[in-house]
C-alpha cells in the first residue's frame, strides 16, 4: 500500500527519458545512449529507476504520454516492471486541440478522463515537461524542466523531495507549484 493516497501521473518523453532518431545528436555525450526502441535512441534521465522505485512506494503511479503505446510500453519496460504501474495511457487517451493562431495541432491530457475512472481530482499530481498538455488542469501540474539527454541532470532527485512534501497536502490543486525547483533542496 502506498504511503500517500494520491495518484502520481508521469509523462514519458523529456520527463523520464529523452529519445531521438538522430543518432548523431548524442554522439558528443560520454554515453551515446542507453537503448534503442524502434528507430529511437533512448537515454534514461539520470536516477530514473531509483525515482520510479521510490514513487511506487509513496504513490499510486500511472504514465500518460502523448506518444503511441507501441513506443511507450517497450521504453517503460526498460525502466520499471509494467505491472507495478496502475495504467499506461498513450496518445489515444489525449485530446487533439488546435492552436488557432498558428493552425498547429497539439495534444492535451484531460484529467476528466481520470475522474471518470474514479480518481479524485484533488489527489492527482501530474508531472510533465510541457505545461500546455495540462492546460485544463494547471492546478495538478508539477512542471519539470525538459530532459534533453544530459548526464549531469539532477531534476528527478529534487522532484522526489518535492513530491514527498506534496503527498502530505489534502488538495494538491491549492498548492502553488510554480518554481518548485527553486524551493526544493539541491
Residue 96 sits in which domain range? 7-16+46-183
Question: How far apart, in whole angstroms, are the C-alpha atoms of residue 19 and residue 79?
Answer: 14
Instruction: Let me know if residue 131 belongs to a domain.
Output: yes
CA atoms within 13 A on the CB side of 78: 16
Instruction: Let me know if residue 176 belongs to a domain.
Output: yes
Is pLDDT larger for residue 22 or for residue 131?
Answer: 131
pLDDT of residue 26: 59
The residues pairing with 64 across neighbouring beta strands, listed in sequence order, are 89
% of the chain surpassing 90 pLDDT: 85
Domains identified in the chain, total number: 1
pLDDT level of residue 182 (50, 70, 90 thresholds): confident
pLDDT of residue 186: 43
In the predicted model, what is the mean pLDDT of residues 10-39?
Answer: 82
Instruction: Let me know if residue 155 belongs to a domain.
Output: yes
Instruction: Let me know if residue 53 belongs to a domain.
Output: yes
Query: Chain centroid to CA 74: how far?
Result: 16
Instruction: Let me know if residue 2 belongs to a domain.
Output: no
Question: How far apart, in whole angstroms, are the C-alpha atoms of residue 115 and residue 16?
Answer: 24
Q: In this predicted model, what pLDDT tens digit does every residue of 45-59 receive, in sequence order?
A: 999 999 999 999 999
How many C-beta atoms surround the C-beta of residue 26 within 10 A?
19
Instruction: Let me know if residue 25 belongs to a domain.
Output: no
In the predicted model, what is the mean pLDDT of residues 64-75?
Answer: 98
In the predicted model, what is the mean pLDDT of residues 116-145?
Answer: 96
Instruction: Let me know if residue 126 belongs to a domain.
Output: yes
Instruction: Let me know if residue 177 belongs to a domain.
Output: yes
- For residue 73, give the CATH number of its domain: 3.40.50.1000
Task: Provide the phi-psi class of 136: left if phi over 0, else alpha when psi is between -120 and 50, else beta.
Answer: alpha
Amino acid at each position: 500500500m502506498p504511503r500517500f493516497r494520491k495518484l502520481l501521473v508521469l509523462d514519458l518523453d523529456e520527463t523520464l527519458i529523452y529519445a531521438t532518431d538522430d543518432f548523431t545528436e548524442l554522439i558528443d555525450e560520454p554515453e551515446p545512449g542507453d537503448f534503442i526502441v524502434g528507430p529511437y535512441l533512448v537515454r534514461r534521465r539520470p536516477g530514473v529507476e531509483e525515482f520510479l522505485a521510490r514513487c511506487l512506494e509513496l504513490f499510486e503511479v500511472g504514465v500518460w504520454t502523448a506518444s503511441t503505446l507501441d513506443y511507450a510500453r517497450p521504453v517503460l519496460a526498460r525502466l520499471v516492471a509494467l505491472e507495478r504501474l496502475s495504467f499506461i495511457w498513450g496518445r489515444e487517451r489525449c485530446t487533439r486541440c488546435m492552436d488557432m493562431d498558428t493552425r498547429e495541432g497539439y495534444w492535451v491530457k484531460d484529467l476528466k478522463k481520470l475522474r471518470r475512472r474514479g480518481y479524485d481530482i484533488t489527489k492527482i499530481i501530474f508531472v510533465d515537461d510541457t505545461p500546455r498538455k495540462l492546460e485544463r488542469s494547471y492546478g495538478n501540474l508539477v512542471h519539470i524542466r525538459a530532459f534533453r539527454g544530459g548526464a549531469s541532470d539532477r531534476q528527478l532527485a529534487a522532484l522526489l523531495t518535492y513530491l514527498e512534501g506534496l503527498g502530505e497536502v489534502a488538495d494538491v490543486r491549492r498548492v502553488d507549484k510554480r518554481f518548485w525547483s527553486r524551493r526544493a533542496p539541491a
